[in-house]
């Protein structure tokens, strides 16, 4: 019997004609000898500013760098920063790199974003900033309340949109909400340049500070070192890849939404699981397609079965950040919803090479394994 091909959880996709264009442009970059601070970084920034409807986009070597620059600008050293416990580890480490004190906030299980009640409980007079993450690529339906909370408490809002390239809600794109917004171009992301990051903002002072910080802290115009910066720029080769991949972002996000719709149609109301169901007006990027298993279903066994029996890669969203050894001291015992949601999460394959037939095969395998678990 012929073994069906393995369906990977994630995979960056560059169509054949796009690969040829990228290869030719990289050849030109190498021939020019200009590997940094050239036209491709500028082109990528301009294209990305357009996608996020921002006045400024600053290309960087990673999203962690973007977060740290934003936090430094906000002046969080010695101050508290509200951070989702359901996020990636660098949302915490960037706060610590900037000298701030991360305060973990529990999750709203319906939106996967910050719980407004826990935000209110965790804020203190010394809180300076807040990080808001669009986990799995969906912008929270209660986004207006999140924005209002930040304004009311005079918090510097950092939007981590690393999962949300191309997402929008009520016509507003991801990357347009924060005082500073941060993106990742890691290989698993919706848009990838291999690695890299971007900071978007409408504040010219933040944009200038980011450009200075990415070049060792050199002041624009004088070249004097005025900040403790680093070599945090995005090189021309990765900027070229990112620029071209951004050109097909719309069609690739549309494909992800189609696959998400296929999953939803097959698995909605299925016993043993819950799906994320964004409200009308929300258009997720679907970096990941999560479902949430009922208690009593062995997630580890299901992950193994999906791989061994069906050749399908699945995984949880993330481990709760406070369960990582280095961050255990941040666990104050109030993060139970985050723990339950993330520990029950299961992400299905989601990328531009998942076909409709693949989606049907994946959904059928999930349904079969859940039925077996419930029997």
Q: Which domains does the chain have, with CATH numbers?
A: 16-247 (3.40.640.10), 249-374 (3.90.1150.10)
Please state whether the predicted TM-score (pTM) of the whole model is above 0.75: yes
pLDDT at 278: 87
Q: What is the rounded (10 degree) CA torsion for 104, 106, 110, 114?
A: -40
**Residue 111 near residue 90, CB atoms below 8 Å:** no
Predicted confidence pLDDT, tens digits, the chain (375 residues): 345 789 999 999 999 999 999 999 999 999 999 999 999 999 999 999 999 999 999 999 999 999 999 999 999 999 999 999 999 999 999 999 999 999 999 999 999 999 999 999 999 999 999 999 999 999 999 999 999 999 999 999 999 999 999 999 999 999 999 999 999 999 999 999 999 999 999 999 999 999 999 999 999 999 999 999 999 999 999 999 999 999 999 999 999 999 999 999 999 999 999 999 888 899 999 999 999 999 989 999 999 999 999 999 999 999 999 999 999 999 999 999 999 999 999 999 999 999 999 999 999 999 999 999 998
**Residue 214 near residue 58, CB atoms below 8 Å:** yes
CB atoms near residue 356 (< 10 Å) = 11
pLDDT at 164: 98
CB atoms near residue 318 (< 10 Å) = 20
Task: Provide the H-helix boundaries in 7-142.
Answer: 16-32, 39-52, 63-74, 90-97, 116-122
Token duo for residue 61? 């070597």
290-302 b/e (C-beta count within 10 Å ≥ 16 → b): bbbbeeebebeeb
pLDDT at 3: 55
pLDDT at 1: 36
**Residue 67 near residue 90, CB atoms below 8 Å:** yes
Give the burial class of 330: count Cβ atoms within 10 A of its Cβ; 0-12 exposed, 13-18 middle, 19 or more buried. Answer: middle
Rounded (to 5) percent helix, strand, coil in the chain: 45, 15, 40
Q: What is the rounded (10 degree) CA torsion for 70, 56, 86, 257?
A: -170
What's the CA gap between 65 and 74, in Å, rounded?
A: 14
Instruction: Measure the N-to-C terminal CA separation of the chain; round to a whole number of Å.
Output: 29
Reference 101, options 68, 76, 75; nearest CA is 76
**Residue 208 near residue 10, CB atoms below 8 Å:** no
208-213 LR contacts (CB < 8 Å, sep 24+)? 209/69, 209/72, 209/73, 210/58, 210/60, 210/66, 210/69, 210/70, 210/73, 211/58, 213/69, 213/72
What's the CA gap between 75 and 127, in Å, rounded?
A: 11
Give the burial class of 24: count Cβ atoms within 10 A of its Cβ; 0-12 exposed, 13-18 middle, 19 or more buried. Answer: exposed
What's the CA gap between 9 and 288, in Å, rounded?
A: 9
268 backbone dihedrals φ, ψ, rounded to 5°? -60, 135
pLDDT at 100: 98
- Treating both helix axes as pointing N-terminal to C-terminal, what angle do 236-247 and 39-52 enclose, rounded to 10 degrees? 40
What's the CA gap between 345 and 151, in Å, rounded?
A: 32
What's the CA gap between 313 and 346, in Å, rounded?
A: 10
**Residue 67 near residue 73, CB atoms below 8 Å:** no
Reference 209, options 52, 95, 69; nearest CA is 69
Residue 315 DSSP symbol? B
């Amino acid at each position: 019997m012929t073994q069906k091909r393995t369906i990977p959880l994630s995979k960056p996709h560059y169509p054949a004609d796009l690969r040829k264009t990228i290869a030719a442009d990289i050849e030109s970059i190498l021939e020019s000898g200009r590997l940094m601070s050239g036209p491709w970084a500028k082109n990528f920034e301009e294209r990305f500013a357009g996608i996020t409807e921002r006045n400024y986009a600053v290309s960087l070597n990673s999203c962690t760098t973007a977060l740290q620059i934003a936090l430094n600008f906000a002046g969080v050293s010695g101050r508290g920063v509200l951070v989702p416990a359901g996020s990636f580890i660098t949302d915490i480490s960037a706060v610590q790199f900037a000298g701030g004190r991360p305060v973990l906030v529990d999750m709203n299980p319906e939106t996967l974003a910050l719980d407004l009640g826990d935000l209110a409980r965790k804020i203190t007079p010394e809180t300076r900033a807040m990080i808001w993450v669009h986990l799995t690529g969906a912008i929270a339906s209660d986004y207006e309340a999140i924005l209002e909370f930040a304004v009311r408490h005079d918090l510097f809002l950092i939007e981590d949109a690393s999962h949300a390239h191309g997402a929008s809600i009520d016509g507003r794109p991801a990357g347009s909400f924060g005082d500073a917004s941060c993106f990742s171009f890691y290989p698993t992301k919706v848009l990838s340049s291999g690695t890299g990051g971007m900071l978007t903002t409408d504040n010219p002072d933040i944009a200038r500070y980011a450009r200075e910080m990415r070049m060792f802290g050199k002041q624009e115009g004088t070249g004097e070192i005025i900040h403790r910066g680093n070599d945090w720029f995005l090189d021309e080769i990765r900027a070229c890849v990112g620029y071209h991949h951004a050109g097909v972002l719309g069609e690739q996000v549309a494909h992800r939404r189609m696959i998400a719709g296929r999953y939803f149609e097959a698995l909605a109301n299925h016993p043993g699981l819950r799906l994320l169901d964004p409200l009308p007006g929300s258009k997720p990027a679907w970096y990941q397609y999560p479902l949430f298993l009922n208690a009593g279903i062995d997630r580890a066994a299901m992950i193994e079965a999906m791989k061994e029996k069906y050749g399908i890669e699945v995984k949880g969203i993330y481990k709760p950040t406070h369960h990582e050894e280095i961050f255990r001291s941040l666990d104050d015992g109030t993060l139970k919803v985050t723990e339950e949601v993330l520990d029950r999460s299961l992400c299905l394959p989601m990328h531009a090479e998942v076909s409709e037939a693949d989606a049907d095969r994946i959904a059928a395998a999930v349904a079969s394994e859940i039925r077996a678990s419930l029997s």
